[in-house]
Structure 1
Amino acid sequence: MNETITFEEFAKVDLRVGTIIEVNDFPEARNPAYQLTIDFGPLGIKKSSAQITTLYKKQELLNRQVVAIVNFPKKQIAKFMSECLVLGAVQGKDVMLLNPEKKVVNGSLVS
């Protein structure tokens, strides 16, 4: 377990639900990854690099809702600018995406 944080520190993390609207291969990534384009409704469209190729095919990711942190600074990964961090449960090299149990409005706050 990491160090304990306060609720105020946690409250700074902006967790939102978005829908994946585009998935592309990312051959320039150091580890196998996809480039995701995600619709966060009123927050707009954001891009993310995700190392989720071991459990997910591109076709099954389209129109899937995911949970992401949307207020991290942008991060350059090869020639790609990642604008959010998609969340998943990690087991070894496998990452299982976190998502709402039922469809919700894009941009919905996760608390």
Structure 2
Amino acid sequence: MEHSIHFDDFTKVDFRVGTIIDVQDFPKARQAAYQLTIDFGPLGIMKSSAQITSLYSKSDLLNRQIIAVVNFPVKQIANFKSECLVLGAVKEKDVILLQPEMNVKNGTVVS
């Protein structure tokens, strides 16, 4: 594989399960997006911007469990600070959220 990493690199990435507890439109984003508030249990509440409006309504997202990277630096997006990266599979231009098959406790480590 062209972009191989070492296992030690992989272990530095902190993947966690969280539940979306609030969804707001993000009109200042360059591309259509939502502002998500996500509960990661013992890690606390984090916010993220996600360009997922083409497949998901706000009501579809509320109380949905997702998988995110929680140890990236905060990223300023317009007037919003994104504190984690919600993961998804890209199909053409749409993002399909990754989620656990069954509900688990918020903050559960993904490995």
**What is the CA RMSD across the aligned residues, in angstroms?**
0.8
Match of 1:26 in 2: 26
Match of 2:87 in 1: 87
Kindly tell me the number of residue pairs found equivalent between the two proteins.
111
5+ residue gaps in structure 1?
none
Secondary structure, counterpart of 1:8 in structure 2: helix
CA–CA distance in structure 2, aligned partners of residues 3 and 108 of structure 1: 28
| 1:59-85: CA deviation from partner (whole Å, max 9, x where unpaired) | 010000000000000000000000000
Q: CA deviation at 1:2?
A: 5.3
Match of 1:9 in 2: 9
What TM-score, normalized by structure 1, do the two folds share?
0.98
Q: CA deviation at 1:93?
A: 1.4
5+ residue gaps in structure 2?
none
Match of 1:47 in 2: 47
One-letter code of the match for 1:24?
Q
What TM-score, normalized by structure 2, do the two folds share?
0.98
Structure 1: which 4+ aligned runs deviate by more than 3 Å? Answer: none
| 1:25-52: CA deviation from partner (whole Å, max 9, x where unpaired) | 0010001000000000000000000000
